[in-house]
Amino acid sequence: MKQEILNEAPEVLKKFLGYLQTVKGKSAKTVEEYYIDLRTFFRYLKVHFGVVPKDAIFEEIKIDDVDTEMLRQVGLTDVFEYMNYLASVRDNHEAARARKASSLRHFFRYLTNKICELESNIIEELETPKLAKRLPKFLTLEQSKKLLNTVNTSGLKSKERDYCILTLFLNCGLRLSELAGININDFREDGTLRVIGKGNKERIVYLNAACKSAVQNYRKVRPNDELKDRKAFFISRQHNRISVKTVQALVKKYLQLSGLGGMGYSTHKLRHTAATLMYQHGGVDIRILKEILGHENINTTEIYTHISDYHVKNAIDANPLADINN
């Protein structure tokens, strides 16, 4: 847990974050996100209950004195007003409000059911903001081939590494953090890759011929001397483990070089691309796709089934008779 959290968080929040990290196995990044969400809520409570001056600068309000006694005063109406504050004052969109509502739900459930500091959980009646369903943005098969070809013919010193990175993204649907976290010994002799996903959950990814070839070609040129992290598979120019920011930058660079820049594509869109290509062109069953992507709930994976419906509608609309009315 970050020192900032240890210094600024009240005791009740530290215990909750510790529970998330040690018992629930949440990643450090996830724990920090919970902290940020609940810090906003605690600051709001101090303003709402008049504990701090009305002209206090919100971002400078300390929360280390928030205790269970203050939390016992919170009613469902207070939480509704907080959600309204997030939308009207802080301009949080639906996804941000939904995440904050989820953080509150987990926190108050912990206070009620795990440590019994509250008699009842008033958050149970809090409805999560409804999120608009959007189709994932992805590259077409031809665009994907074009992107890979741009890397392969770039002539850059790092082209083997970069080609391997993009190949794994487009074929395996890895998350950005999963790719950056790959170690040398995560590649198995049976042609599989061990991946550590969200919540520190391990899964095995099967590598196809394209991935195996890209990995082998990168191994031939991968630096071996003066490495600061000898376990890391993908190495930066500074001989460190490649960072997520570096991966994001190189993906953006090749998208620009291939004429796909400025179209809203990103590393995460490459994950969407892999899933879409497997579902549309490979006929992969949705349950298998769920395991490949490391989704906890199949509802998350089902968004890819709607893509076919979208293309079916477009095909019907493209009929030259579509605009003829009687």
The residues annotated with a catalytic role in the active site are 175, 198, 268, 271, 295, 304
Phi, psi at 203, each rounded to 5°: -145, 160
N-term to C-term CA, the chain: 68
Helices (H), the chain: 3-8, 11-22, 28-48, 68-72, 76-88, 94-109, 141-152, 159-172, 176-180, 209-221, 244-257, 267-280, 286-293, 298-301, 305-317
C-beta of residue 126 within 8 angstroms of C-beta of residue 104: yes
Cross-strand pairs, 265 = none
Helix 159-172 × helix 209-221 angle, to 10°: 160
Closest Cα partner for 19 from 117, 110, 113?
110
C-beta of residue 235 within 8 angstroms of C-beta of residue 241: yes
C-beta of residue 61 within 8 angstroms of C-beta of residue 46: yes
Using CA atoms of 127, 128, 132, 133 in order, give the dihedral in degrees to the nearest 10: -110
User: Tokens 């991968």 map to which residue?
Assistant: 222
Token code pair at residue 294: 């490391």
User: Residue 201: how many CA atoms within 13 Å on its side-chain side?
Assistant: 14
Distance CA 197, CA 183 (A): 13
Token code pair at residue 237: 């120019």
